[in-house]
Structure 1
């Protein structure tokens, strides 16, 4: 369990959330880790704050490269054997990384693992006991872990707010597809390619983290619904779905049907290069 985990966090303003996220990682992470921050043009003092964080690499973009582009940039800079994509509006909890890493190491067929949370899509969403403060949230997370230790399930997809995987997965399926800009469906696409490569997904019910939800989009005045439709159109075309983008946004889709139809990962068709200076540290 001594291997390094590279925690990749994208920022675009939202300093308050970023600070809370970083401080929670620092407080509740005992395994070796490094921060990789990718800033997509913040103007609220975020960069100045990130420069004070210990054990961190800060990559500053003058333009917004989007979630997929920023994550790929962070992956290229990562030194860890484990890579973790973490939204800057997440507050982690006690034993969070030990819990996620434990599942990934327990079953080598697991390609990606994620926690349960609030303010996420239903597949990973639970209804927590009401809490008003982050201290109360930590108390709930502790109790939740004790009640659900060793529990989890195989979801059809995982949400990109907190995803852990081995660096080797990137070598097999590539990075995130930067056509999904600035964000939305890149995590669906990434999970599909992992499944087609023979890996399974795992939702760790014994790891709870707090997620504020769409904080970056809200802070930067981005219209989530409009962007969802745009990326839904890209997604349906890429995977030859018969439903319209509007239907896809309203009713969703069954990832397993796509896996059954496509059957296997084809590197020539499905591998996504990491972009500029492709390669792993």
Structure 2
């Protein structure tokens, strides 16, 4: 890779020498790419800045490839010093591994009158080739003499990715400039996008390279910016107003494609490293606008997909309640649920059961399994397949579209009633208390300890978020202080009853959360915004194995960032109600 002068064993004077066939552009203006006879990139160089004073010339830039650089004054070698440093932005942009010595360089020498040339020597196609890049330092010297010692603005765009279905894009790079310097992103038509709304982050590599020149301002040089109105293949430029008042291009990049699937797009976005404690600041500015647009487009696309429905047996002629159960990852719990349902005569007479398949891997398997289960237990039920994975909220909404009852009961596939009459008690709460919008029971783990006895909001200061908290989880149900119907902040969506009227009133489940978090508390807060209360009924108890299907999604770093993302989106929508709940107002 980049070598110090006279340190490359390949450039030792024994190879045949040749003069470049054509002059290349100036690395002061743009990246200069050096290609071999196969048109493959062999080397590249860019000069980011020249800092000239009455006594010293400093050249800051980067160089990629097997090459040597040196400085020439008036066509003769001149004493100079070369220091190297890491440039993560260059490695990411070129998509190559950076050597330990780094791509970056700083060349310093005593400033003299005359012409300076930066030479790049490389062994290519069996020839030693030297490229001369004359340096334009007159303007820099004149400006330094007339103005101040403030360095010219610097910057680089590492990547820009755009979703072609929404034209939302994310631009990632770094920029160094004084507070009064105008700097912006510009598209091919010259339309500007201000960096005022960018998320700024710490960049150690930029600080190492330019900290001496820009001081403390270089520590937060990184930026992520959300823009829209561009397409894959469009070029974006990082622009700055230089000290002479003229605009200049600091960097340019061609937009790549961002995945159109929201989860795939979030994996790409969350891969852009940001400290966990700063994600709550970044997500509202960058990630949420992009993913919301992708989610909205996805919802419109799903609305047009075919839906397959299979009714097994004859359901009640006028059911009072529709039990809606999404299926993801596994179906072996279905039989256990049906066994419990058959033991409840009220349920069999008044409820229609709807299983919503939300996993394409399960369709064929469950279609055959359902036929067998109906023949065994003779309990009518219906299954629905919406042609794609819609997520927890989308599956529930699809189930409601095929429901015909006055009340809705949303139930997880791994939740099992412990006694008959449980559903009737929950519906009686809604019928007798019109001020209550939703009611949920106590849920316990398989060992009998509490899994859910209402939901609270807990502050995680180190992450800047409010999370959903289940108080008394793991304790004996005897320690549950609630003995009768109680108004609470929220209840879990693992078992939740609501009237069809109130469900339609709030627009159903929100489908814009990622994977499976915060939808239930969002649902409850929508009901509370509509003036309704949320109730917890401890006299009804179900066993809940708690997200056995969701464990298939893993618990890696991506999953942690998903939770933070959903928490930020959740608190952005409901901060006033969340904070009111922590003050005892429910």
Q: Same fold (TM over 0.5)?
A: yes
Residues 185 and 85 of structure 1: is their aligned pair in 2 closer, same or farther, counting only changes over 3 Å? Answer: same
1:232 aligned residue:
567
Bigger-Rg structure (1/2): 2
Distance in 2 (CA, whole Å) between partners of 1:35 and 1:68 is 18
Structure 1: state its 5+ residue gaps: 130-143, 242-252, 261-281
1:171 to 485, 504, 508: 504
TM-score by length of 1: 0.73
Counting only pairs closer than 5 Å after superposition, residues 131-170 of structure 1 correspond to structure 2 as: 151-170=484-503
Q: CA deviation at 1:37?
A: 1.1
Aligned residue pairs: how many?
232
2:354 to 36, 40, 46: 36
1:114 aligned residue:
440
Distance in 2 (CA, whole Å) between partners of 1:205 and 1:123 is 14
Q: CA deviation at 1:41?
A: 1.6
Task: Tell me whether 1:17 sits opposite 2:333 in the alignment.
Answer: yes
Distance in 1 (CA, whole Å) between partners of 2:381 and 2:573 is 36
Q: Secondary structure at the match of 1:192?
A: helix
Distance in 1 (CA, whole Å) between partners of 2:584 and 2:366 is 40
CA contact (8 A) 1:7 1:84 kept: yes
Of Structure 1 and Structure 2, the greater helix share is in 1
CA contact (8 A) 2:485 2:535 kept: yes
Task: Tell me whether 1:105 sits opposite 2:425 in the alignment.
Answer: no
1:69 aligned residue:
394
CA contact (8 A) 2:321 2:352 kept: yes
Of Structure 1 and Structure 2, the greater strand share is in 2
Q: CA deviation at 1:24?
A: 1.5
Q: CA deviation at 1:112?
A: 0.3
1:192 to 514, 517, 525: 525
Task: Tell me whether 1:4 sits opposite 2:342 in the alignment.
Answer: no
Residues 171 and 208 of structure 1: is their aligned pair in 2 closer, same or farther, counting only changes over 3 Å? Answer: same
Structure 2: state its 5+ residue gaps: 1-317, 445-450, 453-468
Task: Tell me whether 1:183 sits opposite 2:516 in the alignment.
Answer: yes
Distance in 1 (CA, whole Å) between partners of 2:436 and 2:504 is 15
CA contact (8 A) 2:437 2:499 kept: yes
1:267 aligned residue:
none
Distance in 2 (CA, whole Å) between partners of 1:68 and 1:255 is 25
CA contact (8 A) 1:14 1:46 kept: no
CA contact (8 A) 1:111 1:169 kept: yes
Q: Deviations over 1:58-108 (max 9, x none)?
A: 111443110000000011111111100000000112221122112112211
Q: Deviations over 1:94-127 (max 9, x none)?
A: 2211221121122111110110012345258574
CA contact (8 A) 2:525 2:574 kept: no
User: Highest relative contact order (Cα 8 Å, sep 6+), 1 or 2?
Assistant: 1
Counting only pairs closer than 5 Å after superposition, residues 180-259 of structure 1 correspond to structure 2 as: 180-221=513-554, 225-239=560-574, 253-254=578-579, 256=581
2:97 aligned residue:
none
Q: Deviations over 1:222-279 (max 9, x none)?
A: 65544322311221333357xxxxxxxxxxx54636998xxxxxxxxxxxxxxxxxxx
Q: Secondary structure at the match of 1:188?
A: helix
CA contact (8 A) 1:28 1:92 kept: no
Q: CA deviation at 1:49?
A: 2.1
Distance in 2 (CA, whole Å) between partners of 1:255 and 1:185 is 18
CA contact (8 A) 1:156 1:255 kept: no
Distance in 1 (CA, whole Å) between partners of 2:544 and 2:583 is 29
TM-score by length of 2: 0.36
Q: CA deviation at 1:221?
A: 4.1
Q: CA deviation at 1:150?
A: 7.4
